[in-house]
Structure 1
Amino acid sequence: MNSRLKELLANGEEVTDAEEEAFLLFSQDIPPGNLGFLEPRAPTVDVTIRGAEYTVHQSPTLLSSSRAGGTTGAVLWKITPFFADWISSPSNPLWTHSFLSSDSVVAELGCGISALVALALAPSVDHYLATDQEYVRRLFRTNLEENASVNSSTTFSTKQKGTKSRGAKPAKKHSSSANNEPRNVTFTTLDWELDQPELLKGCIGTESGGQEAEDGTEEDKGFDLILSCDCIYNDALVTPFVRTCAEICRLRPVYEPSDESESSPPTRQPTICIVAQQQRAPDVFEAWLRETLREFRVWRLSDDVLVGGLKNGSGYLVHLLLAREKH
């Protein structure tokens, strides 16, 4: 496992200093932009991801309301289509190094209403758990149901021509329920300050990864991959967000680079956390990174493995995190 992780991590540069990283990234030219919404006043937005066309229903009225707890998840963010394109591509290093496969269980924090990442990725994994506040649920399910028919054309095998497979299995075909919602996508609320991450996987039942492992070990409460797409835009979110990510990742064994023993018994792969975000305020980014470095080792992924919309100079950043042992 360590050798595969090393190959994966070679696709990025390890970050060890928050102030230095913030200075490096924010001293570059960044495209001007607003908070990051795509078309915040439109009731629907059409987007194309890897040749598939989606119609996203959103709520400009809710966005402009004074709802307690925030409303930013009510509309589509600019980074989301780029991220959905990248994470679902068979050339993504998570696929080519077999850290994603048709057996993977994935969780997303702060999914928002669009369901785009779930729609793009869920057809190729075992189960996808999307989390956010309760006000997101209705439009998330609407977008999931109304765009479900697009999934059949985006499902892929990691053994496609031109992609080096490292033992990953072909994607499964997931049926839909009576209301046309894919069976392997679940939405649940998750409060970063109040809820218990160890209970999160129970939301998807035992059919998709909640049962005992084949070797008879205890139930796996962890996930193969944690995703977050543009959830950090003010200081108040930093600490609860990072803590939640860390607690979820520590439901699996953490990565220990010093453990090179080939004779040690195999364990579940560590949870990989991918955080994508728009470059906005350097002080907020630095605060997030400083807090993150306390809990994780961090790599900024290189342009070689990112799609055009996420590359250096785009105004977007993608970091890969691996949890440290809890102090």
Structure 2
Amino acid sequence: MNVQELENSPETMRIDENNLDEHIFELYAAHLPPLNSDLGMYSRSDKCVELSLELDGSKPKSNILLDLEIHQAIGMLKSSMASTTGAVLWKVSRLFAEWILIPGTFFYSVFRTPGLTVLELGAGVSGLLACALTIPLLKNGRGLYVATDQAHIVPLLRRNICHNLPEVARCISASQSSIATGQVRTEVAVLDWESDSDFQSMISDLEIRPEFDIIVACDTIYNDFLIDPFVLTLSSISSANTIVVIAMQLRSNQVLESFLSALLQAQFKIYSILQAALDIRMRNGFVVYCLAR
């Protein structure tokens, strides 16, 4: 995928200084979540969450279920630590993962590009996206997925991914006759947006190229304090060939407007996926953006 494809797609709309206010108004006037929706946590009390993702089996009537067991850090969530939101699974991650792997959706073919390299920012403890999006990489036989977060999140993130990857392999076996895993890597690494050295340390430790095809983030911006470090991180680690995909639950319109304004100021091109192109469960209360340099 490149900028021209984003520009020409009937499923995207370019957001700039001229239509930013109108875009924000339409989102919050027509696509707010139901009144009874909460902050967006999947469960704020369960130490272990069991869920099944319905994924494409690549043949008619052959959809398969990816059964995941996700351990949450409920004690961390209730603690006085400065950063605790990554301690639990958030609803948008599940919805985004199921939507992105449906045939015919905007990113379906993108995540089936052989040799694709993907970096996830603010993965949280769940590892859900890493497990779901590793599936197309494994089907192609080569690729790299690196899930990142702050140091106190990474141990449980790694545990959840390692625990669920055998289930990922089982799902692929159910949908095709062979799995070529030799050139596919799923990694976990520390990447703090406020640390200039974390990215280079990660590149060195994992012995990988310092350039990713896709950077993905789900529900990482929910207050003003996160905007500047997140945008600075994106600016420093993305290249002219990188596409950034951000899925968000709609909460504060002021925070979203500040975030998009900061991205524009940092010279990112912003494309909003039209609500009609999203999964029906995401059309009220959620938004997906693509960014390019």
- Give the structure-2-normalised TM-score: 0.83
CA distance in 2, matches of 1:3, 1:282: 27
Contact kept, 8 Å, 2:68 with 2:167, in 1: the verdict is yes
- 1:320 paired with 2:261, answer no
Match of 1:229 among 213, 218, 223: 218
Which residue pairs with 2:272 in the alignment?
Answer: 300
Is the Cα contact below 8 Å between 1:227 and 1:275 reproduced in 2?
A: yes
Offset, 1:191: 1.6
CA RMSD across the alignment? 2.6
Which stretch shows the higher mean deviation, 9-18 or 42-51?
Answer: 9-18
> What residue is the counterpart of 1:47 in the other structure?
51
Larger relative helix fraction: 2
Q: Kindly indicate whether residue 287 of structure 2 is the aligned counterpart of residue 274 of structure 1.
A: no
* 1:111 Cα deviation from its structure 2 partner: 0.1
Match of 1:140 among 157, 172, 175: 157
Contact 1:43 1:57 in 2 (8 A): yes
* Cα separation, 2, equivalents of 1:90 and 1:36: 26
Deviation, 1:35, is 2.0
Q: 2:68 is aligned with what amino acid? A: Y
Counterpart code for 1:53: D
Q: Which residue of 1 aligns with 2:95?
A: 82
The aligned counterpart of 2:21 is 19
For the residues of structure 2 that align with 1:34 and 1:109, how far apart are their CA atoms? Answer: 23
Partner of 2:120: 108
**Post-superposition offset of 1:34:** 2.3
Superposed, 1:92-241 pairs within 5 Å as 92-96=105-109, 98=110, 100-125=112-137, 126-155=143-172, 173-174=180-181, 184-196=185-197, 197=199, 200-206=202-208, 210=209, 221-241=210-230
Deviations 1:76-101 (A, max 9, x none): 111111112123344333343x4641
When residues 58 and 273 of structure 1 are mapped into structure 2, their CA distance, relative to the original with a 3 A threshold, is same
Indicate conservation of the 8 Å contact 1:123/1:172, yes or no.
no
The runs of 5 or more residues in structure 2 that have no matched partner are: 55-64, 138-142
Per the alignment, do residues 80 and 6 of structure 1 end up closer, same or farther by CA in structure 2, a change over 3 Å counting?
closer
Instruction: Please give the alpha-carbon distance, in whole angstroms, between the structure 2 residues aligned to 1:52 and 1:149.
Output: 10
Q: Deviations over 1:198-227 (max 9, x none)?
A: 554334324xxx3xxxxxxxxxx2101000
Aligned to 1:91: 104
Matched-pair contact (CA < 8 Å) for 1:37–1:78 = yes
Structure 1 Cα separation of the partners of residues 111 and 133 of structure 2: 14
Which amino acid counterpart does residue 123 of structure 2 have in structure 1?
C
**Which is strand-richer, 1 or 2?**
2
State the aligned residue count: 270
CA contact (8 A) 1:13 1:299 kept: yes
Q: CA deviation at 1:130?
A: 0.7
Q: Distance in 1 between matches of 2:194 and 2:3?
A: 35
**Mapped partners of 2:97, 2:215: distance in 1:** 14
2:234 is the alignment partner of 1:245: yes
Over the matched positions of the two proteins, sequence identity in percent amounts to 31
The residue matched to 2:86 in structure 1 has which SS?
helix
Matched residues in 1 for 2:3 and 2:255: separation?
A: 34
Aligned match of 2:34 in 31, 34, 44? 31
| Secondary structure of 1:141's aligned partner | helix
Instruction: Report the secondary structure of 2:153's partner residue.
Output: helix
Q: Quote the offset at 1:155 in angstroms.
A: 3.6
1:280 offset after TM fit, Å?
0.5
Deviation at 1:13, TM superposition (A): 0.9
* Counterpart residue identity of residue 82, structure 1: L
Which amino acid is 2:245 matched to?
I
Q: 2:281 aligns with which of 309, 312, 315?
A: 309
Deviations 1:32-56 (A, max 9, x none): 3222211111111112212211111
SS in structure 2 opposite 1:127? strand
Q: Does the residue aligned with 1:135 lie in a helix, a strand or coil?
A: coil
State the SS of the aligned residue for 1:26: helix
One-letter identity of the residue aligned with 1:25 = L
